[in-house]
Amino acid sequence: MKVQDTVVVVTGGGSGIGAALARACAQAGAAQVVVSDRDAAAAETVARAIGGHAMAADVADEAQTVALIDETERRFGPIGLFCANAGVSVQGGVERPDADWQRLWQINVMAHVHAARALVPRMLARGGGHLLFTASAAGLLSQFDAPYAVTKHAAVAHAEWLAITHGGEGLGVSCLCPLGVDTPMLQAEAGARRELMSAGLLSAEAVAQATLDGLAADEFLILPHPQVREYMRRRGDDHARWLQAMRQFHAQARGG
């Protein structure tokens, strides 16, 4: 996947990894970068700085995602790279109310489904295109918060299904799974949790560059933190031992 001369859309592009991806794509010579965010002012600030175009959209709403895609292609031409990057988190476990679980499900999973539903037939018909889904290392391993870990696992599974089903038909699919990234979401964490999640902390800019490198290499799984691959191996080699290690990790986060 070459970003140069490509029309790129980045959701959640008003801050964090999304903003860094938008800047990196512009620097790489994208034909147009459409910065989308629920926060219209934040999207406009990023777009103005890179010579891109801002479009407000709440990806929890399928109609707004489809409108974003339709308007981008009407104005700038076929989307070559769609970065489904918007994501949210909430602290807690099964005690969280259904409304919280549903909100994370809509944004962390169904927004990816809606984008694929609109774009996959178009990309296949024109012989190519690339979908980039920002998940998390939590989608390969786990995390402190159940709704986040569960929905990120689902995001990875959805990306895998697309790559299996359509990867041989010209569709490119990549899944971005970083560990700790210096973003507003991480800085909102408190105390021991933030300290543990900051091990090997990367800047959003470093993650964006690793993402472009991964796209250029046609990687499905983009791991800006290389240690994630080792953690995955340990999980596969001895699942019971890995679960015990994760229990200890969670106890540290609780200060126990």
CA neighbor of 11 nearest in space, from 132, 103, 128: 132
pTM: 0.93
Q: How much is the average pLDDT of 34-58? A: 98
As a whole number of angstroms, the longest Cα–Cα distance in the chain is 55
Which pLDDT score is estimated for 99? 97
Q: Are 30 and 218 spatial neighbours (Cβ–Cβ below 8 Å)?
A: no
pLDDT at 244 over 90: yes
Kindly state the tokens that stand for 166: 């359509």
With H, G, I as helix, E, B as strand and everything else as coil, classify residue 55.
strand
How far is Cα 86 from Cα 185, in angstroms, rounded to an integer? 12
Q: Are 182 and 224 spatial neighbours (Cβ–Cβ below 8 Å)?
A: no
**Pseudo-torsion of CA 44, 48, 53, 57, nearest 10°?**
-10
- Strand ranges inside the chain, DSSP E: 7-10, 32-37, 53-56, 79-84, 129-134, 171-176, 181-182, 202-203, 221-222
pLDDT at 192 over 60: no
Mean pLDDT of all residues belonging to the chain: 93
Per-residue CA distances from 11 to 18, 45, 140, 165, 252 (Å): 7, 14, 22, 24, 34
pLDDT digits (tens, 9 = 90+) for 77-115: 999 999 999 999 998 999 999 999 999 999 999 999 999
How far is Cα 47 from Cα 23, in angstroms, rounded to an integer? 9
How far is Cα 37 from Cα 57, in angstroms, rounded to an integer? 6
With H, G, I as helix, E, B as strand and everything else as coil, classify residue 202.
strand
Catalytic center residues:
148
Which pLDDT score is estimated for 250? 78
Q: DSSP secondary-structure letter at 105?
A: H
148 band by pLDDT with thresholds 50, 70 and 90? very high
Tokens 């994501």 correspond to what residue? 87
Kindly state the tokens that stand for 244: 């015990």
Q: Are 171 and 131 spatial neighbours (Cβ–Cβ below 8 Å)?
A: yes
How far is Cα 37 from Cα 19, in angstroms, rounded to an integer? 10
Q: Are 51 and 236 spatial neighbours (Cβ–Cβ below 8 Å)?
A: no
pLDDT digits (tens, 9 = 90+) for 160-171: 999 999 999 999
How far is Cα 64 from Cα 67, in angstroms, rounded to an integer? 5
Q: Are 82 and 9 spatial neighbours (Cβ–Cβ below 8 Å)?
A: yes
% the chain with pLDDT above 90: 84
